Amino acid sequence: MKALVVRLDGFAEVLLAGPAVRALATRANPVTVLCGPGGAPAARLLPHVDQIVVRDPPGTPEADDEALVRRLRADAYDVALVLDPDGPGPHSAGRLLREARVGRVGACGGPGADDALDTAAALGFRPRPGDDGRLRVLPTPDTAALTGNGPYVVVHPGAAPPDGAWDPDRCAAAVAALADAGHRVVVTGDPAESALTRYVSGNTAVDLGGRTDARRLAGVLRAADVAVTGAPGPAQLAAATGTPVVSLAPPDGPRRPHGVPGVLLEPDRGTARDVTAAVHRLLDERT
């Protein structure tokens, strides 16, 4: 049986599809993930993903839904799980799958990993015995050469979109406060955020801005004591590695990281002292 998982939004959302992917893989082979360009790096980290198909956003020069339909039809999928469907319209995932003649389609309107698992179960796919439904990623590399030796807290100050990021001055103050409290701090970010990570790191933190791809970032997060971030992708990636998260989330921002201890702080109210207290609370819970 050939299965297709459709998740066309971002990095965090594709990570949240991971438990459902594992459920489909109990009976289906291969399992393909159809995602957007931003979700593809996350799909490459998921266990039991055999193939990734990237759909360029409709309206972009690269978009070619007709070619995509031909490819999906040729692959002859027996079942598809559509997560967070985008509703009716000429560019909807449902239309693509109908034109691709997929045998059975289950659609999940909820945003979370548990919603996706429930929809997979309705299609007849349940997790393996002992699978706790948490997020997981493939084995990560040893990143000690990047972070240095010894325990540390990760601070990821950026966010996508940028207006969801925490204020840089507050992030820099949080890094300084964590360092004053005796923590080694590692600051992460993508290449476009290098100036931000350099500023936030100051003279106290290890600056890894622009030095990690998704797999190396997963390794950095796995080895961390706690991750502090307002970005949904790194927050869910930390959760997938089992690391607790202090989430600097606006009220309508990223969901709480799935399956790990976490503290939610509103970015317009949280202070450096609040961040440090939240980190200590999560560390106390681990001991």
115, part of any domain: yes
pLDDT tens for 91-118 read 688 889 999 999 899 998 777 899 999 9
31, part of any domain: yes
Q: How far is CA 28 from CA 48, 57, 118, 144, in A?
A: 10, 28, 17, 37
The pLDDT, as a whole number, for residue 200 is: 97
Average pLDDT of adjacent 10-residue blocks, the chain of 287 residues: 94 96 97 96 98 90 90 96 71 87 89 91 96 97 97 92 77 97 97 96 97 98 96 95 89 73 83 96 89
| CA geometry: angle 72, 75, 80, nearest 5 deg | 65
The pair phi, psi for residue 186, each rounded to 5°, is -115, 125
260, part of any domain: yes
Same-domain pairing of 199 and 78: no
The total number of structural domains that make up the chain = 2
Same-domain pairing of 192 and 280: yes
9, part of any domain: yes
* Structure tokens given for 239: 């959760």
Same-domain pairing of 116 and 201: no
Domain range for 111: 3-122
- The domain boundary, picked from 89, 122, 155, lies at 122
pLDDT tens for 165-218 read 788 999 999 999 999 999 999 999 999 999 999 999 999 999 999 999 999 999
Same-domain pairing of 9 and 103: yes
Same-domain pairing of 228 and 172: yes
